[in-house]
Each structure stands twice: as C-alpha cells, then as structure tokens.
Amino acid sequence: MRKGTRHTTKTDPRLAALSILKGVRVGKVLVDELLQEHLSEIKDPRDRALAHELAFGVLRQRSLLDWYLLQNIEGQSLRVPAVVQDILRLGAYQILFCERIPTYAAVSQTVGLCRETGFSGLCGLVNGILRSLDRRTRAGVSSTTVEEDSDPETPAQSLSDLPLPKEDEKPLTIQGAEGIFPEQTEGFVKHVSVRYSLPEWIIEKLLEVWSPEDVVGFATASLEVPPLTIRVHPRILSPSLFAEQCRDSGIEAEPVSWLPDAFFVRSRIPVSQLPGIEQGGLQVQDLGAQLTTLLLDPLPGERILEVGSAPGGKTTHISERIRPTGRLFAVDNSAHRCEVLQKNLDRIGARNVQLIIADGTKPLPLEPDSMDRALVDAPCSGLGTLRRRVDLKWRLQPRDIVALSETQRALLASTAEYVKPDGVLVYSTCTILREENEAIVEEFIADHPNWKVESARAFLPDPMKSAVLPSGGLQTLPHRHGMDGNFGIRLRRTPKSTK
C-alpha cells in the first residue's frame, strides 16, 4: 500500500484480485465480468491497474507459481484451503514478477489478506512460505527433489496435487530458462506445462500436429500481454485524423501498414481515453478478426448473413463494407449479447443491420438461397485468444471440444442453406485446433459436394499470405504473426448444383 493510502475492503486492489481469482475458480463468471464487478469500486487508476495486473498475472502464470511455492513447503504434502492457495499465488507473483513492489510489502500485504479473509491461523505459514521463496529466489535455488504421483488428466485441487517435473529434468527458473528445453520425451509435456502454465492436455493436442518448437513458441506467446489493436470507422473518423489526435494527446498509435484503418496503440491507457471512442469512431478488434472480413469480401448492396454475431466487431466491419444499400442479418442466440451488439451498432449509427435472436442451428426467419454471402463465426474453444482470455485455459476440458465440434458442424450446415448458388460462405473460429477448423470443413464438403474451397491468398494482404494453409484456409498464430490465433476458410457454392 502506498504511504498515506487507506483502503476499505471494497477498494483494496489485492482483495479485489483475490475476489477475481475466486470467481474464476468457482467458474460461474468470465474474467472480464469479474473485472467490471470488482474494479468498479476502486477509484484510483493505479490501484485498478494493480488489481488487474495481479489477477491476470496469477492466471497467466498459475502453474509456475504453484511449482515455486511447492518447493518452499516442508514435505510437499501440505493442503491449504483454496482461498489461501490463491493468497499464496498472489504473494508469489509479486515476489517473482513485480519488480516495483518491495518484497517486504508483498509479504506483509499477502499476510494481511489471510487475516482479512478469516484465516488468521495461517498467517504464520503464509509468511514463512513467502519469505522462504524470496530467500531461495535471491540465492538462485530453484529446484528440489519431489515425487511425481499426480494423474496428468486431473486438474490440481490443491498445491500438493500439482504435477511437477521429474528429478532428471532441467530445473525451471525465471532467469535464464528461455530457450532451454528437454528433448521431446515423456518429460517435455510436463516441463512446458509448468514453465508456461498451460494444461497438459492442450500441449498433447498441439503436439499431434505441431513440432515441439512451435508448441513452445505458442506457449510463450500465450503468456504475453497482447497489444491493443483498434480499427477506425472511416465513415466517422478518418485514420489520418485519428493519428493526428493521438499525436496531439501524446498517445503512441502506430498504423498497420498492410491493413487499412488498423492501428496498434502502444501507450498503456484505458480504451475510454482514446480520441474518437465516444463518438463511435473506433472498434477494438484483433488483426486476425479483421482479416476474417477481408476473407468474406462483402460488397456494397449485398445481402449478408452472419451467424454468431455478438459482440459485433465483425458485424460493424461488414456493415461498413456493404454500405447503406446492403443488408446484414446478424444472428446470435443470446439476448444479452444482442443488447451489447445493438449498443455497438447504435454507437456507430449502423442502420443496415437487422438483429435476429435465434439458435443458428435451427431454421431462421429467412428465405433459403437468399444471401449473397454468409459468415459463420462459430463458438469454439477460443484457444487462439489465451493472451487475452487468461482464465480460459483453466476452464476448458477435453470434453468441451467434442461438444463444440457438434455445434460447429450444425451451424455450418444450417447456414449454407441460405446462400445463393455461386454465393460465398466463410467459416471462422478463434481457435487453433484442427478438429474445430479444417476437420469441420472437410466433413461439410464431403456431405455437400456442391461447395468448394477458395484459397484465402487472393483476399489477403501480401504479408499475410504465408498464413494460408495447404487446405486454402487462413490460420493466424500469436507466435508467428503477433495476433490472436484465428482460423477462416472461404467456400463457394457451385452455381449449377442443387442441394
């Protein structure tokens, strides 16, 4: 706590971070909603930033934090309540990753959290573990002999359940570990899982199609804080004026040379402080998502169907492209998400969009063969967005992929019914798993031979042509392209065939 600052329970940034971690652990609310709930009472922007950093930092580095903490628990057999586990992780994160927070303050405030949350009897334990961690870290001691007795398919329920590296593996350290990895043996998955806080089942899936180097690259990128990427609505705010306003305000905004209207905002400021945001001139949107609209290539005056529209980044992009003479039918099955989308559309003054609250796998109130183009923005595992959705990797289970794949197949087949002969259909996800991407499309084409893939190369800027797969689809990756992992593939219905 800064000198002279007094926090109430609702304004303590560490307590807010702890509440966010609890919400993720319980699993009922997404982390973005938890942020809004627990940071709204904190008025000091520095305290809000600290709460955000602590919560997101622990979620990004959770397995590694647990690994370090376990080395400072006698006998490796201690079990502590789930809340105290999160308290220990918050303390460890501050010691290992927050250079501006003195160790004594990190330990003191973390012990205080124990007291405030009703675990006064464990204050001494927390104090001892964190001070031992600090001593070992400063002394460069990073590994101890531990036993490996955990089921790799079972998520850790307490610190003592976390699967750890074998004795003969290279030690895991913060300093100097980059670039040092064991061979692809039995220990590789466990090593990468702990070092990069990525569940083992995800690593095993990636190793089915990627090299170990690519897996490590992806795991490393997943820990990075992604850049703020925005798209300017040129009808409301010209890119040149936005760039000028940023310069005048001391905001570092770099235009993306190969993608019109896109900017990286390098300054670490709230989105609400960007010039033009209140007037509807900006849309926060990753570059990979912006490429999806280029792949669809909507034209003025066309009738477009978009299934899975909310919260509306691609919807607003398509709306701009088809101009007032076009018509976009935006479908989403969530009334709440459609409310958010409607506000987004109102903000930019879009009048060419009709919202439809419906299940896209069921018949829609639209005529078959009536759309020039369609976009299926399918619900997916979201594994391409781990940089942003830091809680996602702890929520997902392998069984979720199976259920999502069934929905994806149904959405693609249902949406195709509304596309005219010679029309275009784009299937899009924000995941990197083949079973949610190419496999879905291959099965669709096998069942619908009147649809063919059109290579994405003709619709992409030159710097992104290397992201085109042999199948003709587009797959962006955070460790290769510096953007979220988005997949998109363009299909065309043959003009003479019937369904």
Interval 167-181: pLDDT, tens: 333 333 323 233 333
Answer whether 76's CB lies under 8 Å from 160's CB. Answer: yes
Answer whether 496's CB lies under 8 Å from 238's CB. Answer: no
Residue 67 has pLDDT above 50, yes or no: yes
Question: Residue 398 has what DSSP assignment?
Answer: H
- Nearest 5°: the CA angle 189, 92, 187 is 15
| Least confidently predicted of 191-195, 202-206, 379-383, 455-459 | 191-195
What mean pLDDT do residues 77-98 have?
A: 89
The CA distance from 80 to 59, in Å, is 19
pLDDT in tens, 281-326: 999 999 999 999 999 999 999 999 999 999 999 999 999 999 999 9
Six token digits for residue 296: 């669809």
Residue 123 has pLDDT above 50, yes or no: yes
140 and 276 in a single domain? The answer is no
Q: Does 402 map to a domain? A: yes
The per-residue pLDDT for 31 is 86
| Least confidently predicted of 9-13, 67-71, 140-144, 167-171 | 167-171
Contacts of 415 (CB under 8 A, 6+ apart): 305, 307, 360, 374, 376, 425
Residue 7 has pLDDT above 60, yes or no: no
420 and 296 in a single domain? The answer is yes
The CA distance from 215 to 208, in Å, is 10
346 and 478 in a single domain? The answer is yes
What distance lies between CA 411 and its chain's CA centroid? 22
431 and 316 in a single domain? The answer is yes
The CA distance from 280 to 283, in Å, is 8
323 and 271 in a single domain? The answer is no
What mean pLDDT do residues 164-169 have?
A: 36
The CA distance from 45 to 413, in Å, is 48
Averaged pLDDT of the chain: 87
Q: Which long-range contacts (CB under 8 A, 24 or more apart) does 128-134 make?
A: 129/69, 129/72, 129/73, 129/88, 130/72, 130/88, 130/91, 130/92, 130/95, 130/106, 131/107, 132/72, 133/68, 133/69, 133/71, 133/72, 133/92, 133/95, 133/96, 134/95, 134/103, 134/107
Nearest to 412 by CA among 398, 429, 399, 396: 429
Q: Does 1 map to a domain? A: yes
The per-residue pLDDT for 171 is 33
Question: Residue 159 has what DSSP assignment?
Answer: G
What mean pLDDT do residues 62-70 have?
A: 90
Q: Which domain holds residue 251?
A: 228-284
| Least confidently predicted of 102-106, 158-162, 199-203, 413-417 | 158-162
The CA distance from 24 to 17, in Å, is 11
What mean pLDDT do residues 73-82 have?
A: 66
Share of the chain above pLDDT 90, in %: 76
Within 13 Å of residue 326, how many CA atoms lie on the same side as its CB?
25
Q: Does 271 map to a domain? A: yes
Six token digits for residue 248: 């005048």
Q: Does 163 map to a domain? A: no
Q: How, if at all, do strands 253-255 and 327-332 pair?
A: unpaired
Q: E strands along 317-412, which residues? A: 327-332, 353-357, 371-377
Cβ neighbours, 10 Å, residue 397: 13
> Which of 145, 169, 200 lies at the terminal end of a domain, its last residue?
145
Q: E strands along 167-299, which residues? A: 228-232, 253-255, 262-265, 282-284
Residue 10 has pLDDT above 70, yes or no: no
CATH at 430: 3.40.50.150
What mean pLDDT do residues 381-397 have?
A: 96
> Which of 250, 265, 284 lies at the terminal end of a domain, its last residue?
284
The CA distance from 482 to 478, in Å, is 5
Six token digits for residue 206: 């990636």
Answer whether 337's CB lies under 8 Å from 362's CB. Answer: no
pLDDT in tens, 356-375: 999 999 999 999 999 999 99
Q: Does 154 map to a domain? A: no
The CA distance from 216 to 279, in Å, is 42
Which stretch, 3-7, 36-40, 269-273, 296-300, has highest mean pLDDT?
296-300
270 and 367 in a single domain? The answer is no
The per-residue pLDDT for 148 is 29
How many folded domains does the chain comprise? Answer: 3
Q: Does 267 map to a domain? A: yes
Q: Does 176 map to a domain? A: no
264 and 301 in a single domain? The answer is no
239 and 295 in a single domain? The answer is no
Q: Does 68 map to a domain? A: yes
292 and 274 in a single domain? The answer is no
Residue 211 has pLDDT above 90, yes or no: yes
What mean pLDDT do residues 15-33 have?
A: 88
Burial call 8-46: b when 16+ CB within 10 Å, e when fewer: eeebbbbbbbbbbbebbeeeeeebeebbeebbeebeeee
90 and 111 in a single domain? The answer is yes
Crossing angle for the helix pair 45-60 and 82-97, nearest 10 degrees? 100
Residue 2 has pLDDT above 50, yes or no: no
- Nearest 5°: the CA angle 23, 51, 25 is 20
**pTM metric for this prediction:** 0.87
> Which of 284, 314, 330 lies at the terminal end of a domain, its last residue?
284
pLDDT in tens, 243-267: 999 999 999 999 999 998 999 999 9
What mean pLDDT do residues 71-93 have?
A: 81
246 and 297 in a single domain? The answer is no
pLDDT in tens, 419-463: 999 999 999 999 999 999 999 999 999 999 999 999 999 999 999
CATH at 11: 1.10.940.10
CATH at 248: 3.30.70.1170
The per-residue pLDDT for 27 is 81
The per-residue pLDDT for 424 is 98
246 and 377 in a single domain? The answer is no
The CA distance from 131 to 125, in Å, is 10
